[in-house]
Amino acid sequence: MRDLNYNLKQLCRNCREGSYATQRNRERILTLAANELHAMGYRRMQAKSLKPKHIEALVKLWQEKDLSIGTIKNRMAALRWWAEKVNKLNVIARSNEFYGIPDRRFVTNQSKARDITQEQLGKVKDEHVRMSLELQRAFGLRREEAMKFTPSYADKRDHIQLKASWTKGGKPRVIPIRTEAQRDVLNQARSLVGFGSLIPPHRSYVQQLRVYEGNATRAGLSSMHGLRHAYAQERYEELTGWHCPAQGGPNHTTLSPEQRELDQEARMTISQELGHERSQITTAYLGR
């Protein structure tokens, strides 16, 4: 293993910040960056060798590959993490605009909502994975949250409480229980695992993640993030009384002042339920 790859892997293993998914994605990005730097002729590098020319070379390569703005921004975040850990934050500009990376466009009026049919669920052989998918659909949970979900802890009768250790960014949150369908899913989950989580006792999170991915692939399921879009859109209609723009509802410019106020309140509520801090992020789910 090359020195840079080894150094970055050790950095990731020694500085475990964020959820498991965040850690895994960060390590994947940094490994890719190390390989790309090597391929571009930057040899015998170590983690502390990072210089502005390396950042610029990587950004140029990613832009030439026509990667999406979101992908490049995620990679820049990993590079900044690397620079911070080796006390070299000054080698990378604070603003992505310095490198010609435009703001990510969250606004879309094309729905990315997805649902799972009973036929598709029936193809998921692992009952714990099937239950996690049901929770994702019912409460708009992220995959990791639905896998670590412990019904005996989370179920508070009129809402569910997510532990910080389950969530992205380590922020606990509350999601209301509004429907009989949600209550049925929670009862089924409790019946399946008792006082445990949706990760069987004989498996680690990593092992269950592989089981989840394998089952989803064999069942022909993809874009499970679309379940969060569906949750957000359903909640928006419930809170406002009209469809969101991504579902063909009125756009922001056509709303009355009263409707705009209700729209903003609904977006903030949905943002919090999905585990975000800004209402702006809901444009990715709802449109504008």
Half-sphere exposure of 189 (CA within 13 A, CB side): 30
| Residue 160: strand pairing partners | 155, 175
| Residue 175: strand pairing partners | 160
Please give the pLDDT value at position 108. 58
Nearest C-alpha neighbor of 30 from the set 93, 86, 99, 76:
76
DSSP characters for 14-79?
H---S-HHHHHHHHHHHHHHHHHHHHTT--S--GGG--HHHHHHHHHHHHHTT--HHHHHHHHHHH
Please give the pLDDT value at position 38. 94
Instruction: Return the structure tokens found at 77.
Output: 């975040």
Widest pairwise Cα distance in the chain: 62
The rounded distance, in Å, linking the Cα atoms of 232 and 197 is: 25
pTM listed for this prediction:
0.68
Ranges of residues in the chain with a pLDDT under 70 are 103-108
Please give the pLDDT value at position 284. 86
Please give the pLDDT value at position 114. 87
pLDDT digits (tens, 9 = 90+) for 19-51: 888 889 999 999 999 999 999 999 989 999 999
The rounded distance, in Å, linking the Cα atoms of 222 and 147 is: 17
Left, alpha or beta for 124 (phi > 0: left; psi -120 to 50: alpha)?
beta
pLDDT digits (tens, 9 = 90+) for 124-150: 999 999 999 999 999 999 999 999 999
